[in-house]
Structure 1
Amino acid sequence: MIYASTTDDQCSVVVRKNLCGHNCSSTRRKKQVKNATKFWICEKVKDFIIDNATLKAKALQKKIKERYKVHIHYQKVYMGRILALSQLYGDWDKSFDNLYRFKAQIESCSSSSIVNIDHHIINGKIRFRKMLFALKPCLDGFLNGCRPYLAVDSTLLTGRFRRQLASASAVDGHNWLYPVCFGIFDSETNENWKWFMTQLREAIGSPRGLAIHTDAGQPVMTAVNEVFPLAEKRECMFHLVNNFKKQYSRKTTTNGQVEPKKKSCKKLDGRVLPHIIKKLNEESRELSLEVQECSEEVAEVTSLGGSGFRFVVNLQERTCSCRKWQVCGIPCKHAIAFITSLSNASIEDYVDQYYSIDKFRTTYQQLIPAMPGKT
């Protein structure tokens, strides 16, 4: 026989007397709940993982305790998390079986896109080594609308299988990063980087004036020199300074995306992108410079206010001895001073074509095609 009564909140019942004994589990008597299975945990943590897939078991353990007022062993939470990730995003091992289906689907939805997969055979089984994929709209957008500049780098993938995610990115007229291609390989070796750069060259060729920007790592620099011998090479200043500090140990004194940009193109009017016009207008104000014309196309521009530095501007060649105009393709303040001193001259006429609205529209002219899910 059991005697019980309701509490003051009229929602809970308290057992006052139990003559039959009590042998069920109780969260009040035990610090950990043993009868919570990984399947139960899986269902409870799915919402947390959907919001943030990077949450680890320790964080999920804390969230379960906050929401359900129970403490569950770390190992059970870990297994429940693995099961939830598998149900939400697929199994790690089985995902490799879908690579060639992924390749076929991309080639079906976007003809002329490139998906190259490299594998080897171990004990009669096909094992993944590396891959590269480049979508046709991205390749065309880079070749026809972006400056001939590529930033090449890789980052560590921290999932179950540690790999390197490599990428080659360009810059559009708004100075937004523009994806060209991606690759995956096991580590940053000379062989892997040479394979990646070779696939990249087959995709884009060797555009005139191409500049390739790297992190100054020896394997990637070696590959760039071998595969793109005529390209101009540049090193990331952040990595260059860090490598210098390591060596000398001294102190030293950084479609969800395409569609909105495509829509913004329709609203643009004129010849040059608005943010470039705004930048030029800002720089044209309060110019403390003196212009002395040597001819209709050449002038000496002198800084006022004490420094007295003199720069030579050539409008026909679009150069300035400060070299800023040549580097970025936008008239420097010395060129602006010369241009604004002329009658019937427009600064917009001296901005490089890669900052034009036409080039920007060309960059995002093609949409990345939609792909169906796995069936």
Structure 2
Amino acid sequence: MRACSSKFLANNILHQVESNPKIPTRALLEDLVQRYSLSISNMKVFRAKAMAKQYVYGDYEKQYGVLREYAMELKSKNQGTTVKIDVEIEPNGLFPGQILTAVGLNSNNGIYPVAYAIVETENINSWTWFLEHLGILAAIEKLFPSAEQRFCLRHVYDNMKLKHKGDELREAVWCCGKVYNIPKFNRAMEKLKKLNPEAHEWLSKIPAKHWARSHFSGRALTDSLTNNLCEVLNSKLDEARDKPIITCLEYIRKYLTKRIVSVHKVLDKCKGSLSTTATTILENNKTEASKMRVLFNGADKYQVTGLWMEQYVVNLKERSCTCRKWDITGIPCQHAIAAMYDKMQNGSECGDPEAWVSKCYWLSTWNAMYQHTIDPINGRSMWPRSDCPTTLLPPKHHKQVGRPKKKRKRQLMSQLKEVKDLKRKKEDVEQDQKLFKQHNAWRAFFFDFIGLIYGKTSNLLNLVGFSFWSWLEMPIARDKSKTEIQEKYCWSLRRMKSS
């Protein structure tokens, strides 16, 4: 029927596409054929689904035209919101863009989104513009020279393994990054040098202050070695990447709104003075502190000795320990807690270990971070009108060759590991086949020899011999079931009885 056009089908599948944008075209086709009892081509349903998505999300270029109105609505409903729109001359083409995010850590070591932006591409200029030049190293050194810059150790090793590979090498690199003080770091680097001098030379070219805990200043009060907090937020925003600009921004705003509400629910259930993560870490340190031996020097310093004769110096006045865990994380380590216990046992006022934890881990701080909620906004028909005479259009964009990639690129080592596993399995199969051939050859020789010597009287020996070889066969013949062996055993009994 001519009336059954793509536009007609788009209007009828609008609610399905809106509720489930990833619904397969095949499922829509089967539903439409059953509903209208018509023969509909797969391509027509595909075009109808594309039209329905345009109705739901809006057209790419049209959403740029009302971007100013959207920004005005956001600022009017959420006081203190900062919205910046940068324009360029002579725009041309659709604009997929890229999402830039600035993410921090909250008091519970969870993600705390600070800001987000959609830019034409990821480079130094876009990062410098984003959030007043917050971003990669070149932008930070230019505008924030005192800020601490860290590299993700996982990505550092990913770059290293292009030339230097091995599980032992990977463990050595992570050991260098995980230790908290410089003497242990030097020993770990020496082990790496003995293991692979070239890898040691490659890693030494990267300043340790960017990737090793032992060289962290402690200003950030976190010992994180990876950028997992950014990866977590990026995974949550994955569905928004291929949407028009306002639809994408609205998806992010709605996600942040839901996240704040979820954190409020967690805060309502929390008890005590510290966040959940800080409480767990402190309780573990308290357990370890009971195993320490403490020596007081009469002032503010304590010598704390633990297992394997590890010995550190704690200075309660300066809130530091030579193990540097307290200095880097802001949470008293087991040595510091042991010194606090010793001070209380000697009658001095010290307070609970919770009082020595940095304020950034306090429950009141965590609660204060989420006092500002994101207020809802009206629909497009209720947005204020902009007085600007010009209309925004999509910026310039150079389309890349090939289909746009949505899935994350798999790491090289994970692919090599799978190939290695498959190779190992193939070798196991070949070895099993070789054992089967040897086993069957010796078994045939054994029964032929018995039959040649004893003739018909060999039925009893046949049964005994089969039972013996079945017992040997069990650990080798993995593909033979017990039922098959039992059938052969019963067949030998019936043959013996008949003779």
TM-score, scaled relative to structure 2: 0.52
Paired position in structure 2 for 1:312: 313
Give the direction of change, closer, same or farther, for the CA distance of 1:282–1:74 in structure 2 (3 Å limit).
same
Q: Which has the larger radius of gyration?
A: 2
Structure 2 alignment gaps of length 5 or more = 171-227, 229-256, 382-499
What's the CA shift for 1:249?
5.3
2:156 corresponds to which of 226, 240, 260: 240
Paired position in structure 2 for 1:166: 100
1:228 corresponds to which of 118, 126, 144: 144
2:109 corresponds to which of 168, 171, 175: 175
Contact 2:315-2:321 within 8 A present in 1 as well: yes
Contact 2:18-2:53 within 8 A present in 1 as well: no
Secondary structure class of the residue paired with 1:107: helix
Paired position in structure 2 for 1:92: 60
Structure 1 alignment gaps of length 5 or more = 1-24, 26-33, 129-159, 201-213, 215-219
Contact 1:319-1:326 within 8 A present in 2 as well: yes
Secondary structure class of the residue paired with 1:313: strand
Which of the pair has the greater relative contact order for Cα pairs under 8 Å at 6+ separation?
A: 2
- The aligned amino acid for 1:78 is F
Give the direction of change, closer, same or farther, for the CA distance of 1:185–1:315 in structure 2 (3 Å limit).
same
C-alpha deviations, 1:293-320, integer Å up to 9, x for none? 234532122222xx32212222221212
User: Whole-Å Cα distance in 1 between the matches of residues 40 and 29 of structure 2?
Assistant: 8
Give the direction of change, closer, same or farther, for the CA distance of 1:285–1:68 in structure 2 (3 Å limit).
farther
Contact 1:61-1:72 within 8 A present in 2 as well: no
Give the direction of change, closer, same or farther, for the CA distance of 1:64–1:320 in structure 2 (3 Å limit).
farther
User: Whole-Å Cα distance in 1 between the matches of residues 155 and 13 of structure 2?
Assistant: 39
User: Whole-Å Cα distance in 2 between the matches of residues 264 and 338 of structure 1?
Assistant: 33
Q: Does 1:364 align with 2:373?
A: no
Paired position in structure 1 for 2:231: none
Taking only the aligned residue pairs, the percentage that are identical comes to: 26
Give the direction of change, closer, same or farther, for the CA distance of 1:288–1:107 in structure 2 (3 Å limit).
same
Paired position in structure 1 for 2:258: 256
Matches for 1:97-116 after TM superposition, within 5 Å = 97-116=65-84
Secondary structure class of the residue paired with 1:114: coil
User: Whole-Å Cα distance in 2 between the matches of residues 71 and 324 of structure 1?
Assistant: 70
Q: Does 1:78 align with 2:51?
A: no
User: Whole-Å Cα distance in 2 between the matches of residues 354 and 71 of structure 1?
Assistant: 64
- The aligned amino acid for 2:331 is I
Contact 1:331-1:350 within 8 A present in 2 as well: yes
Question: CA RMSD for the aligned pairs?
Answer: 2.9
TM-score, scaled relative to structure 1: 0.67
What's the CA shift for 1:274?
4.3
What's the CA shift for 1:106?
1.6
Q: Which has the higher strand share?
A: 1
What's the CA shift for 1:43?
4.2
Where has structure 1 moved over 6 Å in runs of 4 or more?
none
What's the CA shift for 1:240?
2.0
C-alpha deviations, 1:112-168, integer Å up to 9, x for none? 32111011121xxx679xxxxxxxxxxxxxxxxxxxxxxxxxxxxxxx743110010
Paired position in structure 1 for 2:457: none
Q: Which has the higher helix share?
A: 2
What's the CA shift for 1:99?
1.1
User: Whole-Å Cα distance in 1 between the matches of residues 92 and 85 of structure 2?
Assistant: 11
What is the aligned length?
285
Contact 2:296-2:302 within 8 A present in 1 as well: yes
